[in-house]
């Protein structure tokens, strides 16, 4: 099957492209490399030294004999998108190609507009392109668990059945996202659902939790295939950040009380979930929603686990509860369903001491590349424009 991975130069996309290629799929990567550009603008860098995309792909071919087609350009450029699709002729499109940081989207008006324009218009372009040229193509779109927010009831997978005034219906689950980034994902979901309804497109929305880890079977094969690992206050995510903070002796940055509970998964499960979604496509007209995570943790719990694992490898780890730069509940109910992917055969890699140990050792290996000035959060939800962000 031919699968186009949009955003295939990024953290989840690169690992997924290699995994699918390894599993015998014919893979193309489409990416405008804007993430590398944003890193430069913000004066941040991944912990790991990632090779240029052409070299990564060449190395993959040298090692495995498998080719990956490359299309460098922006999905917001509709003629480029159409030309690439017509050349590659995908049977499935996996769409990772968005601005994915909540803090980035909250820097100021400009970054909020950039995030929503890039994400919402990009996805709309993909929907139109599929309708026009490949109406049978399955769109697998990365959404996020953060679309749901933290309601005081169980979170279902995309839909909820409600009885109201004696009548009953199954409706999209209510959305209460916590940043302009997370809102862009909600807007995408609505647009995709609508396109499935009116044009009969087939789509799967993968509401993914926070991803951790860096190694997969494929990205671990060679230094030149290494994946990005963000640790800075804008693009770094909770567990990855905590391991890198532990490695350099920085107190773990728990925002507020740390009772915020989120859904998490290992990057080795990300690539497998996408494969499972592609292998069993949605039906024409179906907008299918899978909650893509394996476990739920509070931020405090994660910090405690990293402290314990750090101590075990001889690191002295402190935890610092700091003023929360975000506006979010720090103590709340959170219980989300995730059976759809398990039913398709997902065998989760649960967070374990050995994973934490390997991530900590990975962070120790590259700790010389850490810029300590980029650890603390600079973006405030309450005060847009207040962050001193390099351009």
H or E element that contains 104: helix 102-105
What track of x and - describes contact with ligand NAD for positions 113 through 132 (by CB under 6 A)? -----x---x----------
Minimum CB–partner distance for residue 265 and ligand NAD (Å): 8
Minimum CB–partner distance for residue 12 and ligand USQ (Å): 9
Concerning whether 144 is annotated as a catalytic residue, the answer is yes
Burial of 40 (0-12, 13-18, 19+ CB in 10 A): exposed
Q: Judged by CB, which is closer to ligand NAD: 118, or 189?
A: 118
Q: Which of 343-349's residues contact partners 24+ apart within 8 Å by CB, and which partners?
A: 344/276, 344/277, 344/279, 344/280, 345/276, 346/269, 346/272, 346/273, 346/276, 346/294, 347/272, 348/265, 348/266, 348/269, 348/294, 348/295, 349/266, 349/268, 349/269, 349/294
Minimum CB–partner distance for residue 230 and ligand USQ (Å): 8
Q: Could you say which of ligand NAD, ligand USQ, none residue 241 binds, taking C-beta under 5 to 8 angstroms by partner kind?
A: ligand USQ
Q: Judged by CB, which is closer to ligand USQ: 77, or 108?
A: 108
Minimum CB–partner distance for residue 69 and ligand NAD (Å): 15
**How far is C-alpha 348 from the geometric centre of its chain's CA atoms?**
17
- Residue selected from 3, 9, 27, 104 as contacting ligand NAD according to rule CB under 6 A: 9
183 contacts ligand NAD (rule: CB under 6 A):
no
Copy the structure tokens of residue 187. 């807007």
Measuring CA to CA, how many Å separate 134 from each of 24, 242, 320, 345? 22, 43, 51, 28
Q: State which of positions 184-213 bind ligand NAD (CB under 6 A).
A: 208, 210-211
31 contacts ligand NAD (rule: CB under 6 A):
yes
Give the interface with ligand NAD as residue ranges (CB under 6 A): 7, 9-13, 31-35, 74-76, 96-100, 118, 122, 142, 144, 208, 210-211, 228, 237
Q: Which residues bind ligand USQ (CB under 6 A)?
A: 100-102, 144-146, 182, 209-210, 237-238, 241, 253-255, 260, 262-263, 299, 326, 328
Query: Any idea which residues carry the catalytic annotation?
Result: 144, 181, 185
């Amino acid at each position: 099957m031919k699968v186009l991975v949009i955003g295939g130069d990024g953290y989840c996309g690169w690992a997924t492209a290699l995994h699918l290629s390894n599993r015998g799929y014919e893979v193309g990567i489409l990416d405008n490399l804007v993430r590398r550009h944003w890193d430069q603008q913000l004066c941040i860098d991944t912990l790991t030294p990632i090779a240029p995309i052409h070299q990564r792909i060449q190395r993959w071919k040298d090692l495995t004999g498998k080719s990956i087609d490359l299309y460098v350009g922006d999905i917001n450029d509709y003629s480029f998108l159409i030309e690439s699709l017509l050349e590659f002729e995908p049977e499935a499109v996996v769409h990772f190609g968005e601005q994915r940081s909540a803090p980035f989207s909250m820097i100021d008006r400009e970054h909020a507009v950039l995030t929503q324009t890039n994400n919402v218009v990009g996805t709309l372009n993909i929907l139109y392109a599929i309708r026009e040229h490949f109406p049978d193509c399955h769109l697998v779109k990365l959404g996020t668990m953060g679309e749901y927010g933290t309601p005081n009831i169980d979170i279902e997978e995309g839909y909820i059945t409600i009885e109201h005034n004696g009548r009953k219906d199954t409706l999209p689950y209510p959305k209460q996202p916590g940043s302009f980034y997370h809102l862009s994902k909600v807007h995408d979901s609505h647009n995709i659902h609508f396109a499935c309804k009116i044009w009969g497109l087939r789509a799967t929305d993968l509401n993914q939790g926070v991803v951790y880890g860096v190694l997969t079977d494929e990205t671990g094969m060679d230094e030149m295939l290494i994946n990005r690992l963000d640790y800075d206050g804008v693009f770094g995510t909770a567990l990855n950040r905590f391991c890198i903070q532990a490695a350099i002796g920085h107190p773990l940055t728990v925002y507020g009380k740390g009772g915020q509970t989120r859904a998490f998964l290992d990057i080795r499960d990300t690539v497998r979930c996408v494969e499972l979604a592609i292998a069993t496509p949605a039906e024409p007209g179906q907008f299918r929603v899978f909650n893509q995570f394996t476990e739920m943790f509070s931020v405090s719990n994660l910090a405690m686990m990293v402290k314990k694992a750090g101590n075990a490898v001889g690191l002295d780890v402190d935890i610092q509860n700091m003023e929360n730069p975000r506006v979010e509940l720090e103590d709340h109910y959170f219980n989300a369903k995730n059976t759809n992917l398990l039913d398709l055969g997902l065998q989760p890699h649960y967070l374990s001491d050995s994973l934490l140990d390997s991530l900590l050792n990975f962070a120790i290996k590259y700790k010389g590349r850490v810029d300590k000035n980029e650890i603390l959060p600079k973006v405030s939800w309450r005060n847009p424009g207040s962050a001193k962000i390099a351009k």
